[in-house]
Structure 1
Amino acid sequence: MSATGNSELGNFTSALSSTISTQVQQQSLPSSALWNITLWTLSAIANSTEATTAYPLNGSLTTVTSNVTSLPTNMTSSSINVTSQPTYPRSSLPLYHLIVNVFIVGSICLAGITGNVLSIIVFSVNKERSSTFELLRALAVADCLLLMLLFIHYVVPSIYPYTGYLKWYMDFIPKMMRYTWPTGYVFMTISNWLILAVAVDRYHAVCRPFKASEFCTLKRARITIVIVVIMAILFILPNYLGAIRIGFFPCVNNPTAYCFYNIFIDNLVYGIGYRIVLHLLCLYVVPITILVYVNYNLILALKRADARRKTMTKREKEATESRSLTRSFIVVIMIYLGCATPTFLSQFFLAFRAFIDPQILVNYQYYFSINIVLIVINSAANFFVYAFIGARFRQILFSIICCCRPALRHQGSVSSLRSHQNAANRLSVLSKESRSSIATVDDGIDSSQ
């Protein structure tokens, strides 16, 4: 590295250390604590000859917090090894993020938000209150809020690195990150656990029907929703306390690099016990294991139900609707498993990122965007599954959108009225035929006389 590069790095690190020390003292934090700064800021500043082409990652939350290196606040140029820090051309990752995060993720987010809003309306209009519908409505709310937050933090910030537009947004978004980043994890946790709750609910309804009336109640479903929300907030609470925005520093003409101080970063219990063990167990291992078991049993139950379908008489319609709902949720579980598994595997990668070559971390950014695509697909796909498989869901949806059919709450009375009208029409036809036959007999008698 040139002498100019060393000089710029020394000036940068000195100013950075001074600024952070001041911020740390203002927040009554230990000056020797470790803090996180994006890998790319050091790379772009240190390699002065490549500073115009070295771009940091966009302002996405997980990107900022995932790919970092821990440095003491009294760092100097001699204590930083910048020769191994990777850089990439302007047309590489920013363009990739523009295509994937803006066009692909953005489109899925908008479609998913619209679909989840329609799902909330359908489940609210449906007068057949059940534990499953109540849980599915709460799931739609959580997915809708998660998609909105992903749109704010991954779609919009990905516009600036390549186009240069919305710089004001890049200056504004760091002020929100301390609160919105953990909130996104709250919504994701609620969504994951509600899918688990619906799976258990359908398992009891289908595989243990004699206990369903006791277990699958509306009151129990609402209590479950409240417990899930409270537990999710408590589970993510350390992230609210752990991420404190120290400041942000411009990297040449690139997006702002954000620095976060983590008050638990030097705590072994937090690092291993919470970030690795609890996150993996509570958000991935346990839910995925239970969902695989439940999904397998639901599929077997549906096969047995299809084999007995021809013997059904009076309750055939109700059984068909129940099977349709179960099929819909089986597909929802399969989508969740397909989308969550790559994210689950990436957690092992991030857990040991300190031992991974920096160049591999660069390539991981491409994989990380694919993870975001899978997350938004998981939250956006449920509506389309309901609409494609659920006949009752389609019926309510069409009556809402087209406004040409009566609402479902009047469907029973309308069906009854139609049946009475059909019966009256049949009686009218029979009476006409009777009168016609009588008239024919009379004519025959008259002619014989």
Structure 2
Amino acid sequence: MFTFSYKMMAKCKNLSEENLSIPIENKSTEYILEKNVHFIFMEIGIPIVCAFGLVGNMLSLLVLTKEKVNHCLTKMEKSAHIGLIALAVSDFMFCLLALLFTILPTQEIYLEPNGIMYYRWLGNGFITFFIINSTWLIVVMAGERYIAVCHPFKARKFISLKKTKIAICLVYVVCMISTIPLFFESEIVEEICVDGSKLYKIEKRKNYSNQTRRMVWSIVFDFTPSIALLYFNICLVWKIRRAKQLRREMTLGQGNDLIMYRSSMKSTDDQGTHSSSRSNNSCNEFRKADQSENFLIRGKPRTISQHKRGSDSALNSVTATLVAVVVLFLILVSPSEVIKFIYAKIHPIDRDAKNKHYHYYQIILHVTNFMQSLNFSINFILYCAVNKSFRKTLRSLICFCQHPRPRARFIKQIPNRIT
């Protein structure tokens, strides 16, 4: 690229020396540090993370789709699965576009329009779309889970599979409309050389002011989602801990009731030994009734309680999964956006002068871009670590050939009696 710039300098009058390479010995310490950070995070870290994210999100889509089709899910679980599927699609597209953005060659001058040039021109807008889209999908899912757990009576009115699909579609449409201004920040400039040949460059629009857009963008897509997710997560964690505490107290109470019941039965038996035969008969009838009651408890009611316990376990797994996703977002994405906003306000960035604050800001961008890529790439690991049903379905997909074979049923033949 540098050799090309020297050769074209003799032919193109519109190309100045600022397009040429400057020996690295004349560069500042901040410039060298920024290039090293760029190499570590943008050229090595993000491609590896995004490649893993492509595989992980694809597996997440397969597992979540199979769970939705094969398992008898409740209305709440179906809504959560639809949201997780939409999130996996958005994360997959982000990983794909970010991987292309990092592995495609970077050029300042193009001999002719091609796909790489157009992707460099528009790719940043599409990547940003999927970033904010995934962010608000997480907000929608966390909000639904907050209503389902903290306000269960209102959940029947506000949460349904149809409403969840409408909310997801609205998120996609609103985020796409919001990213339209990003596609107008830069333009393709045509340079005419002395010999009549043409060159093409991607430059920022000179009269395009985006200060207002950046302020609105920070409020709507950075601070508001972070505050909402923080509130939802605190409420969900508190409610989960409260539910566990109540369940523990109920378990202790049931144990005490069982001890009192056994002691009362023992005293009844002792009194029965000194009573008449009539009282013995009544005691025997009482025992038979108690045995039949125990049989009913061990039979159908036990099956119902097991089904209810399984449904509660599934709901708890979905809630724990969403809590883990929100925690990961709050750790990797929210602080990075706040740091970029604060640093840009304290130290105005001059892209033309490229002073030390510009290089420091670029370092922050490289690190935060890697953190965002990590956030959208490792949800698959969270699902495996938190959701037992997800692990079971994944194991059945991977080890489909190792299902246990049905055991042969042997019928015992009774010999005919000789008459």
Preserved CA contact (<8 Å) 2:328 2:375: yes
Determine helix, strand or coil for the equivalent of 2:208.
coil
Determine helix, strand or coil for the equivalent of 1:380.
coil
- How far apart are the structure 1 equivalents of 2:311 and 2:165? 24
- How far apart are the structure 1 equivalents of 2:222 and 2:119? 27
Q: Which amino acid in structure 1 is aligned with residue 323 of structure 2?
A: I
1:371 to 368, 376, 382: 368
1:101 to 42, 45, 63: 42
Instruction: Give the C-alpha shift of residue 365 in structure 1.
Output: 2.5
Instruction: Give the C-alpha shift of residue 178 in structure 1.
Output: 2.7
- How far apart are the structure 1 equivalents of 2:30 and 2:151? 59
- How far apart are the structure 2 equivalents of 1:12 and 1:307? 78
Deviations 1:258-302 (A, max 9, x none): 532437614xxxx332122x1111111110010010000000011
2:162 matched to which residue of 1? 219
Residues 2-401 of structure 1 aligned to structure 2 (within 5 Å): 15-16=14-15, 42=18, 45=20, 51-53=22-24, 87=28, 93-126=34-67, 127=69, 128=73, 130-157=78-105, 173-247=116-190, 258-262=201-205, 265-266=208-209, 271-276=210-215, 278-310=216-248, 311=250, 313-314=305-306, 315-340=308-333, 341-350=335-344, 352-354=348-350, 358-401=355-398
Determine helix, strand or coil for the equivalent of 1:373.
helix
- How far apart are the structure 2 equivalents of 1:361 and 1:248? 27
- How far apart are the structure 1 equivalents of 2:43 and 2:371? 14
Q: How many corresponding residue pairs?
A: 333
Instruction: Give the C-alpha shift of residue 96 in structure 1.
Output: 3.8
Alignment TM-score, normalising by the size of structure 2: 0.69
Cα 1:368–1:247 change in 2 (3 A) is farther
Q: Which amino acid in structure 1 is aligned with residue 24 of structure 2?
A: T
Higher relative contact order (CA 8 A, sep 6+): 2
- How far apart are the structure 2 equivalents of 1:297 and 1:288? 14
Kindly, what percent of the aligned residue pairs are identical? Answer: 21
Cα 1:95–1:171 change in 2 (3 A) is farther
Instruction: Give the C-alpha shift of residue 224 in structure 1.
Output: 0.8
Determine helix, strand or coil for the equivalent of 1:353.
coil
- How far apart are the structure 1 equivalents of 2:154 and 2:207? 45
Preserved CA contact (<8 Å) 1:242 1:263: no
Deviations 1:143-198 (A, max 9, x none): 1101111111134447x99xxxxx99x98532222322211111111111101011
Instruction: Give the C-alpha shift of residue 331 in structure 1.
Output: 1.5
Alignment TM-score, normalising by the size of structure 1: 0.65
Preserved CA contact (<8 Å) 1:247 1:260: no
- How far apart are the structure 2 equivalents of 1:97 and 1:343? 18
- How far apart are the structure 2 equivalents of 1:248 and 1:88? 33
Determine helix, strand or coil for the equivalent of 1:349.
helix
Instruction: Give the C-alpha shift of residue 345 in structure 1.
Output: 2.0
Instruction: Give the C-alpha shift of residue 95 in structure 1.
Output: 4.5
Cα 1:147–1:302 change in 2 (3 A) is same
RMSD: 4.0
Preserved CA contact (<8 Å) 1:321 1:392: yes
- How far apart are the structure 2 equivalents of 1:205 and 1:191? 21
- How far apart are the structure 2 equivalents of 1:264 and 1:402? 59
- How far apart are the structure 2 equivalents of 1:155 and 1:195? 28
Which residues of structure 1 form unaligned runs of 5+? 1-9, 18-40, 56-85, 162-166, 250-255, 407-413, 436-449
Instruction: Give the C-alpha shift of residue 92 in structure 1.
Output: 5.3
- How far apart are the structure 1 equivalents of 2:94 and 2:114? 22
Q: Which amino acid in structure 2 is aligned with residue 52 of structure 1?
A: P
Higher mean displacement: 189-198 or 362-371: 362-371
Deviations 1:347-373 (A, max 9, x none): 343453149971121233322211111
Cα 1:90–1:334 change in 2 (3 A) is closer
- How far apart are the structure 1 equivalents of 2:96 and 2:87? 14
Determine helix, strand or coil for the equivalent of 1:245.
strand
- How far apart are the structure 1 equivalents of 2:371 and 2:337? 8
- How far apart are the structure 1 equivalents of 2:42 and 2:10? 34
Preserved CA contact (<8 Å) 2:318 2:387: yes
- How far apart are the structure 2 equivalents of 1:336 and 1:183? 20
Cα 1:400–1:244 change in 2 (3 A) is same
- How far apart are the structure 2 equivalents of 1:12 and 1:88? 34
- How far apart are the structure 2 equivalents of 1:396 and 1:326? 18
Instruction: Give the C-alpha shift of residue 247 in structure 1.
Output: 4.8
Cα 1:230–1:387 change in 2 (3 A) is same
Cα 1:288–1:92 change in 2 (3 A) is closer
Cα 1:240–1:298 change in 2 (3 A) is same
Q: Which amino acid in structure 1 is aligned with residue 313 of structure 2?
A: T
